[in-house]
Structure 1
Amino acid sequence: MAETGSEFERRPDPDALLALADREKRGKLRVFLGAAPGVGKTYAMLARARALKTDGVDVVIGLVETHGRRETEALTEGLEILPRRKIEYRGRTLEEFDVDAALARHPALIVVDELAHTNAPDSRHPKRWQDVEELLDSGVDVWTALNIQHLESLADVVSRIAGVAVRETVPDRVLQDAADVVLVDVTPDELLQRLKEGKVYVPDMARRAVQNFFTPRNLTALRELALRRTAERVDDQMVDYLRQNAIEGPWATSERLLVCVGSDRLSEFVVRAGARLATGLNAPWIALHLERAGEEEQDAERARRIDEALRLAERLGATVERVSGHDLAGEALRFARRENITQIVVGRSRAGLLARLWRKSLTDEIVRRSDDIAVQVITESRAKAEEEPRPRKALSANGELWRGVGATLASVACATLIAWPLDVWLHLPNLGMIFLASVVFCALAAGVWSAVAASILSFFAFDFFFVDPRYEFTISQAHEFLSLLVYTFVAIVTGTLAGRVREQSRAMRARAEAAQSLFEFSRKLSSAASLDEVMWAAAMHAQKALDAKSAVLLAPDDGELTIAAAWPPIDQLDAKEAGAARWAYERAEPAGLRSGTLPNIRFAFRPLATTRGVVAVIGLEPKNAQETPSAQNERMLTAILEQTAIAVDRALLVRESVRAAALEENEKLRSTLLASLSHDLRTPLASITGAVTSLRQLGDRLADTDRLDLLVSIEEEAARLSRFVVNLLDMSRIESGALAPRRELVDVGDAVRSAMERSRKEFPQLKVSASLAPDLPAIRGDAGLLGQIVFNLLDNAHKYGGGQASVYARRDGDELLLTVTDEGPGVKPADLERIFEKFYRGGRIDGRKAGTGLGLSICRGLVEAMGGSIVAQSPAIRRKGTRIALRFPIPEPPRRDAVA
């Protein structure tokens, strides 16, 4: 048992095996990593590619930048090179890697240089590494080259080392997901020597590079970063190997990191620092944005910085969360404990003295209250070198500021004007209450800072106008000075509380409106009976809630995405928009505006994903494509997507259930038909076969009466079989729509008498009486079909009517009423409609079900084909029996003037 338990404990890690299986489905990525340009990454990559080509591997060069180096260009000879895609941009012709040509060629291995390159506008992907991801998803192996400074998490570190801002970056996960990382390394002295010899840049560029970037100090630091990152990647590969093969060894740490993201520029560096720390610890991490309740409505610049920081965190492999509350430090720590966080990374910016006195620092609060969680503090000095001068906001554009200033000045002026006559005429001692009311007004009208400014301004106004000596900013009595201080303190506290109440009420109102909007949307979705109604409800609500044009695209059974609903109405999407929608549908990821796929189009497409996969795509075209959506709109969009996805899934399930029910009903009808055919064909055939056999075998030995009985039996069973076949043919004609009755004037009396005569021959046991009005009008129809209808009704009366039947016909207003009544046991009220269904047999004859269940169904089809109606009534007479009533419209007689 111990041995078995040991084997169980050393089993391979299921997650590692699943990750390995997922990687096997994709192409393999090999990254040639270097510390700086010129170390020989492209040369080494091409040399190995040529060796594989010699071994018979299908190798293609998708794109290689030789930078005029003759040795590198020589290595491309003999290798297939794909033509580049040409793009016209601002009067220039740009040449880019053609990912569509590479997908169409689909080689075993493709070489794509410059992984961090930014593609030209209007490309499908803004970055070349995204083109490489698409190639890998299609199963093509890719070799590429990358400098260490282009890794997203190291961009700020490299900027501080080299003093050069890194603009083109690659997410760290690209390197982490690579199958192999090949370090191409040379010493700084050797690289500088190559630079002087012109093997890296042309002479002019080389001199500038030596002065700015290629210094021994910079190259040594970059080389260390490249070696460290490669060593971490090798360590990850070793851990994966140990897990996949159940080998005991050092495992990855169980650390979990939380990175707090704010709205200042320091947040970007906090995110990068958190990503580096998580990578070094092999730990998952969460990027958390904390927003104070009542402050969700931020200016566009703050919202943009928050959105950029969170997007950066997503690119670096973080899970993004948002939390709202009043006690931000408490909310952060509660979230950290709930998510089992072991380390928190926060930033600390330099706040002014007034700001530190007015509000405690979030960083200091987290450090003070985090007893069991380590806290890493990123200071502002680390990011100061990269801090760009912030553009000053134009005061005229800041409506909120002007509104606050206006409210402060107006309220204090009004309070002074009101208090002046009261002091002159009434000599009131507590005029400060009037100024306190102005402070509360400012708090409610313009917020906290307006209330604080009004408090200070009220202090000076009260001192100047109402405290002796008047009209001077001096106070003669100590108690008056104390009273003013107390008044100012109370005014500030009161104004602050009133301002917070205002902010909270605004936030609650916004949330209530959002909740009400979602409630109405959910009600519309719950009442939507079809998929089309769900699509239109989603499109119209998205347009109303997000103030953006919306379109919902659905893939029918043929798999081609089409616009199911759009508001305002949209006829069609252009080719790029359709491609982005298809990308979102097939890849289950956002595409279009502000995404990594076709970001320059007007629509942003989001997939509607359920447990069965992506069921639809919703596209949104905002009024201002440059404006970053607010957090409130992002939450609203997420809620709309989730509810719409559930509703679409439900509608699809309902449609599938209807189809399943129809298939089940068809299967039931097929089984019933087969059973009916089996019985109703076999019985007369068996009787006919038995009678014929007896006549053939016995011949003249049979008495004449017996022979006559056998011949009568053959005749009856043959007639029965003929009626059954005719009924089947009639039903087939009715259901296929091939039945086209004539529209001639029909004498109803003749048709009824003909059917009765036929029934007397077929059913001599049935006693039929008729009551036909003498003035029966003619109807338009088919005399043969009308006779067939009456005969079928008499046949039904013969089977279930107790041997008695009556036929009655008369004029009833503009209609002709024709009834056939039997005196049988009758029909249950619940079955009055069902008796007209195919194969329904409601009665029994001699202990068995009689008939095929087609007679009344055929009658309904024939009556409706002639423009009439048919109903069943039971009981009919003396609390028993069934009456089948037929009504046909009576045609209007031709007008004399028309005849003339």
Structure 2
Amino acid sequence: MADKDRDLDRRPDPDALLALATEGRRGKLTVFLGAAPGVGKTYAMLTRARRLKEEGTDIVVGLAETHGRSETASLLRGLDVLPRLKVPYKGRELEEFDLDAALARHPQVIVVDEIAHSNPETARHPKRYQDIEELIAAGIDVWTALNIQHLESLSDLVADITGVVVRERLPDTVLKNADEVVLVDLPPAELIERLKEGKVYVPESAKRATERFFRLGNLTALREIALRRTADRVDDQVVAYLRQNAIEGTWSSGERLLVCIGPGALSEKVVRVASRLATGLNAPWTVVTVEAADRETNDVAALRRVEETFRLAERLGAETKRITGNDFVRDILAFARKEHATQIVIGMSRRSGWRHLFRPSLTTALAKRAKSIGIHLVTAEKTQEPQTAKRSRRFEFAGVRRSAATAIVLVAATTALGLLIDRVVMLPNISLLFLLAVLGAAVHAGYAAALFAALLSTFAYNFFFIDPRHTLTIAAPHEVFALFVFLTAAVIAGSLASRIREQADVASVRANALQSLYDFSRKLSGTAKADDVLWAAVTQLHSSLKRSVVILTPSGPDLSVAAAWPPDTDLGVSDVTAAHWAHDKQEPAGSGTGTLPSSQFQFRPLTSPHGVVGVCGYACSDTPLDINAERALSAILDQTATAIDRARLAEQAVEQSARLEGERYREALLSSISHDLKTPLATITGAVTSLRQLGRKMSAESRDDLLQTIEEESARLARFVGNLLDMTRIEAGTLNAKRDWVDVGDMVRSSVDRARKYFPGQSIETGISPDLPLLRGDSVLLGQVLFNLLDNAVKYGGGEPVSIYARRDGEDILVSVTDLGKGVPAEDLERIFEKFYRRGRSDGRSLGTGLGLSIARGFVEAMGGRIYAESPALKKRGTRVVMRFPAAETPAEVQTR
């Protein structure tokens, strides 16, 4: 079983395998790295390119800067060179790399020199390394050159060394993510000699460079930096290979430190020593602590010391981890091999001789079992031990007293019960009663009580039940053996029972914590709003910590209370100041910290992947949080920050969707206006031009036709503009409908007459009920609605007759306009009233701006009516638009009533 678990632990790292799989879908980046200009990066790159060209590789030179060096320029002969893109810039013409031409050519390998170069403002990307990233994403391998001083993280260091501020910079991740780094090195003395010979710059520039940048000390320092960066890059490749192939242990190509700490005072010194050691070796380091899987410690002070040591390690640049297990040595070594550590740094405290004799120290066990990993021991100073030892002895003495009392009570009770039974009946196995006492002590008070109970049971059994009784003398030899077996069995049984009891307690505590976090996670998963997340968080924290909790979120430049439990929780001036500090500095502040400890609350930042989203504070008291509460607090704060970030992203997505919808409407409006106004404008322009140029030569009938066309198209333009203005009034809420007496029959007749003028060949049927009552409304708006409906019916009626009917239906006046076109699908019956929605005709084209029915709905609702559509209307085709208005009582009816 152990071998199976070990095989599972040795599986390849998933992240490393994913990175390896991704490489096959992208191009590869090769960087020719140098310490300074003139070391031969471009020369080495072109030399290698010529060799690949001779081998038949499709390689192209996208851009190569020769800087006037004849030796480098000669290498371009015989290579495919892309023409440069000429870009106007401030009155002159620049020659830049043509990215689009390179993508269109799509070679197997392309050479693009000077990756740190900045592109002109008109280019697609501001930096050349971004052009190269696009080439790599397209599956093209790229070769480029880079001087070490162009890395962003080294800009200030290079400025201090050389006195020259490098303006062309690029992120360090470009070099870190490169598939291959080729170091082109040249001793500083040779580089200076090449500079003097004019092989780097022209003589005037070479003289200035020698006086400022190209000094022996500068070049030596830059060379060291380039060598170190290349070594670090190679070391990363080694680690990636180890993880991809699930190779445990390490190859001593680079140092990696694993630092082991505990609750003792020595841990702080161990971390500081490890930090200095990692800095000197330029090595990454990880600080780890091992927690027992089968028991939960109650020493809150010790747990706080571990947390403080972790925070110190993180400030010094370490990564922190926690390991859970029972065999500390095995777990530490397994983790070290998994992380490919080369050295383990651990503290060695002084131990008494008898303790070392019976139980070897952790450092001794590590030294024996570690094979290829070095052990670095940090010894304690004399001033670091007494206080810790004193506290430990005091704690142990209190535990011994409790264990002894439990053992004495249980053994005494068992002895009394045994004597009572012995008077009634003679039992040869009465010793089993004392095993129950040992098990009871183990379950009730732990291993120490079980051990005391086993010893006391041995003496009590011997004194009261083994002949000769009431003495410690044993007459029969077999009784000695039985007593020894009893003592051994009692110790083993007590040990197992105490272990089971401790594991059950730990499992119960952790199960409760996991259940609480699970319930909280489920609650957050169903919460979509940030406010709901905040209230769920404060109630959960209040339930877990049994303290007042408050969450503040940014509101402009200030912080405001977004949620608190109890709701009447108040914050003082020092509390608000501590909250601002925690938010601005992204570190805990307030009570129990080194910042504003006078505050009644301790505030912690809510940090999400997108930054700090708020601050959470909890009331402090004389009793600090135990380790379980501390872990619950950290877990809830992390989940809360992520949930707030998710909720805000969802809100932003909704806002963005609304903006995109608005953009879609605006684009549709512009498209509709440009399309629908273009035809009448073109017709009017053509008619006016014909009248001006040929008016005298045309007959009177032809001129009248052109004038009529201008009149009709002008009216059409007026309708379009009127529709836009009406929609603007509806959306702005400035539409005020009149409440006059309106004769619906007269409005139907006038609208039909108007429509027949615009559509002289269209058949329009009318039907008006003679008992049609008046309605209270706006005659202008109603006339516009009726004409819009008739206009819409004519457009989509397919040349068939259009009918309009008005009748009374109970307490309502019903007006319907019906066409016999192809109809409207059921799912679109509501959409036809949306802005810019246009149905296609039988020939596939759409007519109008898509505003007519939307305006009709706005006008009808402004007059207190309702409008809807039905389809099919007649004979399984056509569309009927129906309006319903409440019928009004006439003045005569009111007077009669």
Which of the five TM-score ranges fits, normalised by the shorter chain?
A: 0.5 to 0.7
C-alpha separation in 2, matches of 1:387 and 1:12: 57
Sequence identity of aligned pairs in percent? 45
- Residue 367 of structure 1: CA displacement? 2.4
Q: 1:596 to 1:24 in 2, by over 3 A?
A: farther
User: What stretches of structure 2 of length at least 5 have no aligned partner?
Assistant: 1-31, 46-144, 162-217, 236-252
Deviates more, 1:724-733 or 1:680-689: 680-689
1:717 to 713, 720, 728: 713
Give 1:170-209 correspondences, 5 Å limit.
Answer: none
1:792 aligns with 2:788: yes
Superposition deviation, residue 657 in structure 1: 3.3
Opposite residue 448 of structure 2, the aligned amino acid is W
- Given the alignment of the two structures, is residue 833 of structure 1 paired with residue 830 of structure 2, yes or no? yes
In the TM superposition, what is the alpha-carbon distance from 1:575 to its structure 2 partner? 5.0
Tell me what 2:662 maps to. Answer: 666
Instruction: Check 1:706–1:641 CA distance in 2 against 1; reply closer, same or farther (3 A cut).
Output: same
- The offset of 1:881, in angstroms, is 0.9
Distance 1:607 1:839, change over 3 A: same
TM superposition shift of 1:794: 1.6
Residues 589, 603 of structure 2: 8 Å contact kept: yes
Matched-pair contact (CA < 8 Å) for 1:297–1:630: no
Equivalent-residue separation in structure 2 for 1:491 and 1:600 (angstroms): 54
Q: What CA RMSD, in Å, does the superposition of the two structures yield over aligned residues?
A: 4.4
Instruction: Please report how far the alpha carbon of residue 840 of structure 1 lies from its aligned counterpart in structure 2 after TM superposition.
Output: 1.6
Asked if the contact 2:767/2:805 (under 8 Å) is kept, the reply is: yes
Q: Where does 1:226-305 land on structure 2 (aligned, <5 Å)? A: 243-244=224-225, 254-275=254-275, 277-278=277-278, 284-305=284-305
Task: Please name the residue that 1:851 is paired with.
Answer: 848
- d(CA) in 1 for partners of 2:620, 2:679: 76
1:736 paired residue number: 732
Provide the rounded CA distance (Å) in 2 between the counterparts of 1:465 and 1:393.
35
How does 1:137-536 map onto structure 2 within 5 Å?
243-244=224-225, 254-275=254-275, 277-278=277-278, 284-314=284-314, 318-350=318-350, 360-379=360-379, 382-383=382-383, 387=387, 390=390, 404=403, 407-536=406-535
Bigger mean CA offset, 661-670 vs 742-751: 742-751
1:886 is paired with a residue of what secondary structure?
strand
Aligned to 2:862: 865
Q: Check the 8 A contact 2:591/2:602 in 1, yes or no.
A: yes
1:45 equivalent in structure 2: none
The CA deviation at 1:851 is 1.4
Change in 2 beyond 3 A, CA 1:842/1:674: same
**How far apart in 2 are the matches of 1:277 and 1:663?**
55
2:329 match: secondary structure: helix
Q: Tell me, yes or no, if the aligned pair for 2:801 and 2:819 is still in contact at 8 Å.
A: yes
Kept in 2, the 8 Å contact 1:347–1:378? The answer is yes
Q: Report Cα offsets for 1:141-179 as digits up to 9, x if no partner.
A: xxxxxxxxxxxxxxxxxxxxxxxxxxxxxxxxxxxxxxx
Structure 1 residue 728: Cα displacement: 0.6
Contact 2:582 2:605 survives alignment (8 Å): yes
After TM superposition, the score normalised by the length of structure 1 is 0.66
CA–CA separation in structure 2 for the residues paired with 1:594 and 1:379: 30
The aligned runs of 1:674-689 (5 Å cut-off) are 674-689=670-685
Distance in 1 between the 2:341 and 2:281 partners?
13
Distance 2:483 2:727 in 1: 101
Shift of 1:897: 13
Contact 1:256 1:342 in 2 (8 A): yes
Paired residue for 1:880, among 860, 877, 881?
877
1:438 maps to amino acid: A
CA pair 742-574 structure 1, distance change in 2 beyond 3 A? farther
**Which of 760, 768, 778 pairs up with 1:782?**
778
Matched with 2:632 is: 636
Matched residues in 2 for 1:458 and 1:889: separation? 100
Does the aligned pair in 2 maintain the 1:615–1:649 contact within 8 Å? no
Tell me which amino acid in the other structure corresponds to 2:300: A
Tell me the equivalent position of 1:616.
613
| Corresponding letter in the other structure for 2:521 | S
Deviations 1:716-742 (A, max 9, x none): 222222211111110011111111223
Question: Is the contact made by 2:601 and 2:618 (CA closer than 8 Å) also made in structure 1?
Answer: yes
Pairwise mapping of residues 743-782 of structure 1 onto structure 2 (< 5 A)?
A: 743=739, 746-772=742-768, 776=772, 780-782=776-778
1:87-116 C-alpha deviation (Å, 9 max, x unpaired)? xxxxxxxxxxxxxxxxxxxxxxxxxxxxxx
Name the SS for the 1:669 alignment partner.
helix
* Partner AA of 2:874 in structure 1: I
Indicate if the aligned counterparts of 1:16 and 1:240 stay in contact, CA closer than 8 A. Answer: no
The change in CA–CA distance for 1:684 and 1:385 in structure 2 (over 3 A counts) is: closer
2:514 is aligned with what amino acid? A
Shift of residue 326 of structure 1?
Answer: 0.8
How is 1:798-837 mapped onto 2 (pairs within 5 angstroms)? 798-802=794-798, 803-809=800-806, 816-837=813-834
* 8 A Cα contact 2:257 2:343, kept in partner: yes
| Equivalent residue runs for 1:682-701 within 5 Å | 682-699=678-695
- Given that residues 550 and 569 in structure 2 are in contact (C-alpha distance below 8 angstroms), is that contact kept between their aligned partners in structure 1? no
Structure 1 pair 893–263 and aligned structure 2 pair: CA distance change class (3 A): farther
Q: Which runs of 5+ in 1 are unaligned?
A: 29-236
1:14-93 alignment runs, 5 A limit:
18-21=152-155
- SS of the residue corresponding to residue 844 of structure 1 reads coil
Equivalent of residue 601 in structure 1, options 599, 602, 609 = 599
- Please say if residues 748 and 776 of structure 1, whose CA atoms lie closer than 8 Å, have aligned partners that are also in contact: yes
- Could you say what secondary structure the match of 1:288 adopts? strand
Instruction: Give the TM-score taking structure 2 as reference length.
Output: 0.66
How is 1:128-139 mapped onto 2 (pairs within 5 angstroms)?
none
8 Å CA contact 1:608–1:642 kept in 2: the answer is: yes
> Relative to structure 1, is the Cα distance of residues 575 and 818 closer, same or farther in structure 2, using a 3 angstrom cutoff?
farther
Partner of 1:647: 643
Is the Cα contact below 8 Å between 1:581 and 1:617 reproduced in 2?
Answer: no
Show the counterpart of 1:78: none
Query: Matches of 2:382 and 2:889 in 1, distance apart?
Result: 98
The one-character-per-residue Cα deviations of 1:584-619 (angstroms, maximum 9, x if unpaired) are 44444444444454444344444444454x141332
Cα distance change of structure 1 residues 817 and 350 upon mapping to structure 2, 3 Å threshold: farther
Is residue 741–residue 775 contact of structure 2 (8 Å, CA) maintained in 1? yes
Give the aligned residue type for 2:852: G
Residues of 2 paired with 1:302 and 1:809: CA distance? 89
Q: Deviations over 1:632-672 (max 9, x none)?
A: 44443443344344334433433343333333333332222
Distance (Å, rounded) in 1 between the aligned partners of 2:719 and 2:605: 59
Structure 1: distance between partners of 2:569 and 2:774: 54
Q: Give the Cα–Cα distance (whole angstroms) in 2 for the partners of residues 239 and 360 of structure 1.
A: 50
Could you tell me which amino acid in structure 1 is paired with residue 790 of structure 2?
A: L
1:793-844 deviations in Å (ceiling 9; x for gaps): 1211111123333334555566554432221110122322221222221132
Distance, in Å, in 1 between the alignment partners of 2:895 and 2:441 is: 88
Asked if structure 1 preserves the Cα contact closer than 8 Å seen for 2:529 and 2:647, the reply is: yes
Conserved? CA contact 1:552–1:616, under 8 Å:
no
| 1:849 match: secondary structure | coil
